[in-house]
A = this chain, B = another copy of it.
């Protein structure tokens, strides 16, 4: 599916409307006293009704056993080869904050961190400083001048920022400077191929300046950079799927990956609830064929290891769902980009429970409610996340027959 050969050939510009509702990190595991997963445990009467009427399955984001980051996981959900389409987190961050990244720019994701007198990292997130505290530091970094290259620093959120470099002939094949552990100094910027050596030199010069200008700003007295990369210039949703697509997401990262595949990113506020997000869908219902709706806190609460808080997020989505259902989408898919079991406090490789509701064409299976174990026996079986878009288009009757 990676080259979209079949999709380009078969997709029609008319047909039903599709909602892809992604609860980030939806899949989970039982934990402690709970014998159910979070999704099974959560009280979700609306989703359970949809599961009874529709069908379930398990989505594998990348391959068996592979735990994805958010970028590749979303590319897969959107039908792109997540391994053959490497998009750096820097690029996603840049697009997520609406930075006008040029094709030759190199972007990286930056974190403020705390270092001790020897320059060893003591806190990889600088005590998770607030955006208010970070903003003047971001502005200081944006003032850094390195001969031969333009540099841009933009705030993402809290301790996170984006660095972009602009000059001719840059190459983003650079290794992360984040050592991923405390007790070590940030790594030097290192080229992963000879062509990137000049870019690495610029970054080293910039890092030296960053260290100098931040030296008195403890806890945010140093930075790490990761996910260097350049815009991979992907084929767009309207080209490959003939879909006029919109993204409703709160967190910049997901807006970024949506822009990358050609979606319009609809305006949201940073404290939007699922209900608020669904309202945005309703307001733009007539303008698009396809809505990607992203719910972040399922993942965040999973990473916190908070089983109950994750369940509450799922319940809040369930309570708001009637807003989406009132729009009568022809296809509603509810899934996750990956699993984030509270038990593991991290993303995981477990396949993701997925619900398909397309009353005109789905085949109801025996599921009684929405959950991992029901999905194991679901009518969609195990499938690759990359196959979800063709499935959605098919159920929206937006694909021609292949061959005569």
Task: Spell out A's residues near B (CB within 8 Å).
Answer: 1, 5-6, 10, 29-30, 37, 58, 62-73, 82-83, 86, 88-89, 92, 109, 226-227, 341, 343-344, 346-350, 361, 363-366, 372-373, 376-379, 381-383, 387, 389-395, 399-404
Shortest Cβ distance from A330 into chain B, in angstroms? Answer: 14
Residues of chain B within 8 A of A73, CB atoms compared: 403
Instruction: Give complex CA distance A176, B224 in Å.
Output: 58
What are 30 A-B contacts defined by CB distance under 8 Å?
A1-B63, A6-B63, A6-B66, A30-B363, A30-B364, A37-B363, A63-B387, A64-B383, A64-B390, A64-B391, A65-B387, A65-B389, A65-B390, A65-B392, A65-B399, A66-B394, A68-B401, A68-B402, A69-B403, A71-B403, A71-B404, A72-B403, A82-B403, A89-B403, A347-B401, A365-B373, A366-B376, A376-B378, A381-B382, A382-B382
Copies of this chain present in the complex amount to 2
Shortest Cβ distance from A270 into chain B, in angstroms? Answer: 21
Interchain CB contact under 8 A, A376 and B387: no
User: Which residue of B has the minimal Cβ distance to A378?
Assistant: B376
Interchain CB contact under 8 A, B109 and A391: no
User: Which residue of B has the minimal Cβ distance to A388?
Assistant: B64
Tell me whether A404 and B227 are in contact in the complex, defined as CB-CB below 8 angstroms, given that A379-B376, A399-B65 are known contacts: yes
Instruction: Give complex CA distance A349, B7 in Å.
Output: 14
Residues of chain B within 8 A of A363, CB atoms compared: 29-30, 37, 350, 372-373
Q: Which 10 A-B pairs have the closest CB atoms?
A: A65-B390, A89-B404, A65-B394, A69-B403, A64-B387, A381-B382, A72-B403, A65-B391, A69-B404, A349-B394
Interchain CB contact under 8 A, B361 and A366: no
Shortest Cβ distance from A288 into chain B, in angstroms? Answer: 20
Interchain CB contact under 8 A, B399 and A349: yes
A361 in complex: contacting residue of B72, B92, B348, B393, CB < 8 Å: B348
User: Which residue of B has the minimal Cβ distance to A61?
Assistant: B402
Interchain CB contact under 8 A, A67 and B399: yes
Interchain CB contact under 8 A, A390 and B63: yes
Tell me whether A226 and B64 are in contact in the complex, defined as CB-CB below 8 angstroms, given that A363-B29, A379-B376, A394-B349 are known contacts: no
Interchain CB contact under 8 A, A399 and B66: yes
Known contacts A64-B383, A89-B404, A373-B379; 16 further A-B pairs (Cβ under 8 A) = A62-B402, A64-B387, A65-B391, A65-B392, A65-B395, A66-B394, A67-B394, A67-B399, A71-B403, A83-B402, A344-B361, A349-B391, A363-B373, A376-B377, A381-B382, A382-B383
Residues of chain B within 8 A of A347, CB atoms compared: 401
Shortest Cβ distance from A333 into chain B, in angstroms? Answer: 12
